[in-house]
């Protein structure tokens, strides 16, 4: 047997083993739409520097009702066609962000999502994003798959990375995404500008500009799916002031430096997480 065959066999066996060991979150189905209630609660939870943990705990029942509704609704269950792309995208963004918040609550607000461990998903970041599944639109999906595959890659829109809140201090600002036709794209552009022109997105450190690790990790998406030749050129489209001036100067030899990751839970005013990792 060819040596590569063993590689694929082991990969298949690992996938088969781990698929049956995920932490599946079962929530009571909800038929009545609760978008307005959850959108209002989310605005109380979200803060410029993270999330208000007390408000998150206060609105847990509304959050679970929203995810319960999303478990049996969505683009497939409700036949939202391609003409309703904004509605489909906003649903995916809002549901992913809600699932992240709920998963934080389930693990008693850990000091970092990366330290959550589930079954065989013991490596950093695996338990929370790979080892936990939510039922969305009648299908089970992990948080990682929902964000990367179903949302960003499916629509080939790099701006979506600035809309996904992964629960850490590195994440873009948490917000409710509109489902109104022709309103989502302008909202995404505004969010990208806000992110890139903030210290969270791009900060002056040690005599140079350093950028959020999210931008470095996904920099191919910002060029492969746009007309930009490099990340500097793409970011300059949304940057202003001294940030824009510096990025334009780097376009010919774009060598951006990512700042050190801050994967602590994005608690408002630095409130510490209270929970331990779940094994």
Taking only the tens place, the pLDDT of each residue in 216-239 is 999 999 999 999 999 999 999 999
Q: Where are the domains of the chain?
A: 17-270
* Percent with pLDDT over 90 in the chain: 85
On whether the CB atoms of residues 105 and 278 are closer than 8 A, the answer is: no
Check whether 4 has a pLDDT greater than 90. no
118 SS3 class: strand
Mean pLDDT of the region 198-224: 96
The string of pLDDT tens digits covering residues 25-47 is 999 999 999 999 999 999 999 99
Q: List, in sequence order, the alpha helices (H) in the chain.
A: 3-19, 35-45, 53-58, 60-70, 85-106, 126-129, 143-145, 154-155, 184-196, 213-217, 219-224, 231-236, 241-250
pTM: 0.90
């Amino acid at each position: 047997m060819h040596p590569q065959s063993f590689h694929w066999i082991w990969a298949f066996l690992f996938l088969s083993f781990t698929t049956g060991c995920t932490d599946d979150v079962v929530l009571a189905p909800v038929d009545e739409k609760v978008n307005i209630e959850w959108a209002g609660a989310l605005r109380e939870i979200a803060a410029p520097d993270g999330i208000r943990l007390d408000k998150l705990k206060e609105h847990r029942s509304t959050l679970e009702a929203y995810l319960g509704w999303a478990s049996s609704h969505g683009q497939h269950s409700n036949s939202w066609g391609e003409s309703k792309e904004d509605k489909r995208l906003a649903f995916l963004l809002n549901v992913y962000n809600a699932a992240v918040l709920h998963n934080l609550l389930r693990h008693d607000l850990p000091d970092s999502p990366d330290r959550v461990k589930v079954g065989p998903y013991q490596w950093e970041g695996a338990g929370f994003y790979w080892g936990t599944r939510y039922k969305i639109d009648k299908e089970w999906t992990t948080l990682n798959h929902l964000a990367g595959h179903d949302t960003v890659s499916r629509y080939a829109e790099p701006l979506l990375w600035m809309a996904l809140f992964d629960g850490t201090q590195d994440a873009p600002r948490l917000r409710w995404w509109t489902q109104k036709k022709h309103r989502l794209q302008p909202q995404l552009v505004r969010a990208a500008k806000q992110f890139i022109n903030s210290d969270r997105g791009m900060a002056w450190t040690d005599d140079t500009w350093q950028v959020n690790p999210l931008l470095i990790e996904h920099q191919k998406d910002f060029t492969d799916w746009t007309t930009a030749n490099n990340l500097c050129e793409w970011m300059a489209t949304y940057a202003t002031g001294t940030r824009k001036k510096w990025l334009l100067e780097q376009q010919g030899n774009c060598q951006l430096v990512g700042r050190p990751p801050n994967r602590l839970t994005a608690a408002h005013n630095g409130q510490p997480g209270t929970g331990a990792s779940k094994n």
